[in-house]
C-alpha cells in the first residue's frame, strides 16, 4: 500500500474548486464560511509582596509586618468574590463554546462532504456524535492541563528548591532542562492526539455514526500498523501551516488586515480552510475504500463493521 501526502492535497483542492466554484453560490459560500468559523473557534499574574522597608533592607519588626500583611489581605479580599465569579463565568463560556464547536465540526464536515451548507438539519441529526465529541474534548483538555501541571510540579518545583542552595545549582539546572524536555514531549503527544481526533476520528464517527471511543478503537489498528505514515502526516500538516503563516501575513498586509477580522477572514480564505478539511479525508481514504466519505458504504456493511 502506497501512502501519499501531496496527492491527497491535490485531490482536496480539486474537490474544493468543485464545491465552491462549480457553480459559485455566494449564499452557500457565506454560510459555509460561518460554519467553518464557528467550528474552529476553540482550535485555543499574581502580584508579589515585597517584605522590605523603604531603605531596601529586610524589615526587623515582625509585628508591624504582620499587621501590614493582614491589611493588604483584607483590602484584596474584597475582590476575591468578583475574581472567583469572573473565573467561573470564563469557564462556563469556554465549556459552552466547546459544546457548540463540537456540534459544528460535524456540521462543517457534512457541508464539505455533501456540498450543501446547512445548520439546523445536521445540528439535530448529529446531536449524539456532537455530545460524544464534546465530552471527549472536555476530558482531553482537562488532561492536558493536569498533565502539564504534573510535569511542572515534578521537575520545576524541585528546581526552585534546589536553587536555594548554591551547592545544588547544577541539580536545579538539570531539573529545569528535564522539565522543559518533559513539557515538549508532552505537548507533542497531546498535539498529535488532538490532530488525529479532528483529522481522522471525527470523520470515522461521521462515516459510521459511532461515538468517539469506538472511533478511536477503529483507528488504533491503523496507527499501530503504520505509525510512521501518521507521524509524517503531522509533520506534513506542520509544514503546510508554516507556509500558510507566511502567506497569511502577506495576505493581511495586502488586505489592510481585513483577513484578521473574525469571520471575514474565514470568508476570504474559505478555499484554504475547505482544502485543509478535505485533506485529512483524502489521506484517510488511502488506507481502505470504506474510509472514503464520498462513496456510499456497501449495503451489507451499512451501519456495521469497519475496515481493519
Under the banding of pLDDT at 50, 70 and 90, the label for residue 75 is low
pLDDT of residue 50: 34
pLDDT at 46 over 50: no
pLDDT for position 298: 74
pTM attached to this predicted model: 0.80
pLDDT one-digit tens code per residue, 269-301: 999 999 999 999 999 999 999 999 998 877 654
pLDDT in tens, 202-219: 999 999 999 999 999 999
Residues 6 or more apart whose CB falls under 8 angstroms from that of 145 comprise none
Q: From CA 116, how far away is CA 29, in angstroms rounded? A: 10
> Residue 62: CB partners within 8 Å, gap ≥ 6?
none
210: alpha, beta or left? (left if phi > 0; alpha if psi -120 to 50) = beta
Rounded mean pLDDT of 188-195?
Answer: 94
Express as a percent the part of the chain with pLDDT over 90.
Answer: 58
* Nearest one of 259, 283, 261 to 271, comparing CA atoms: 259
**23-27, 57-61, 118-122: segment of lowest average pLDDT:** 57-61
Task: Please tell me the predicted confidence (pLDDT) of residue 53.
Answer: 41
CA distance 104 to 39: 5
Mean pLDDT along residues 156-184: 62
Nine cell digits for residue 285: 481514504
Mean pLDDT of the chain: 83
Count, residues in the chain: 308
Amino acid at each position: 500500500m502506497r501512502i501519499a501526502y501531496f496527492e491527497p492535497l491535490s485531490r482536496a483542492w480539486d474537490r474544493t474548486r468543485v464545491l465552491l466554484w462549480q457553480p459559485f453560490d455566494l449564499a452557500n459560500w457565506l454560510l459555509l464560511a460561518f460554519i467553518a468559523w464557528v467550528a474552529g473557534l476553540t482550535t485555543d499574574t499574581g502580584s508579589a509582596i515585597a517584605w522590605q522597608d523603604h531603605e531596601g533592607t529586610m524589615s526587623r519588626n515582625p509585628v508591624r509586618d504582620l499587621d501590614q500583611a493582614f491589611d493588604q489581605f483584607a483590602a484584596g479580599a474584597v475582590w476575591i468574590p468578583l475574581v472567583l465569579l469572573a473565573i467561573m463565568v470564563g469557564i462556563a463560556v469556554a465549556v459552552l463554546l466547546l459544546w457548540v464547536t463540537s456540534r459544528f465540526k460535524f456540521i462543517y464536515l457534512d457541508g464539505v462532504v455533501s456540498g450543501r451548507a446547512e445548520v439546523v438539519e445536521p445540528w439535530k441529526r448529529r446531536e449524539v456524535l456532537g455530545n460524544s465529541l464534546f465530552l471527549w474534548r472536555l476530558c482531553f483538555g482537562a488532561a492536558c492541563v493536569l498533565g502539564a501541571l504534573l510535569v511542572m510540579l515534578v521537575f520545576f518545583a524541585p528546581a526552585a528548591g534546589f536553587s536555594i542552595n548554591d551547592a545544588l545549582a547544577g541539580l536545579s539546572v538539570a531539573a529545569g532542562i528535564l522539565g522543559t524536555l518533559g513539557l515538549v514531549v508532552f505537548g507533542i503527544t497531546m498535539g498529535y492526539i488532538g490532530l488525529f481526533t479532528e483529522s481522522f476520528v471525527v470523520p470515522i464517527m461521521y462515516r459510521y455514526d459511532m461515538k468517539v471511543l469506538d472511533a478511536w478503537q477503529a483507528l488504533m489498528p491503523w496507527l499501530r500498523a503504520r505509525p510512521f505514515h501518521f507521524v509524517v502526516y503531522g509533520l506534513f500538516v506542520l509544514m503546510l501551516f508554516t507556509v500558510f503563516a507566511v502567506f497569511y501575513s502577506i495576505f493581511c498586509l495586502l488586505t489592510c488586515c481585513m483577513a484578521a477580522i473574525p469571520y471575514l477572514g474565514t470568508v476570504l480564505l474559505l478555499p484554504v480552510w475547505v482544502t485543509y478539511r478535505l485533506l485529512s479525508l483524502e489521506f484517510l481514504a488511502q488506507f481502505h475504500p470504506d474510509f472514503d466519505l464520498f462513496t456510499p458504504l456497501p449495503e451489507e456493511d451499512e451501519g456495521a463493521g469497519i475496515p481493519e
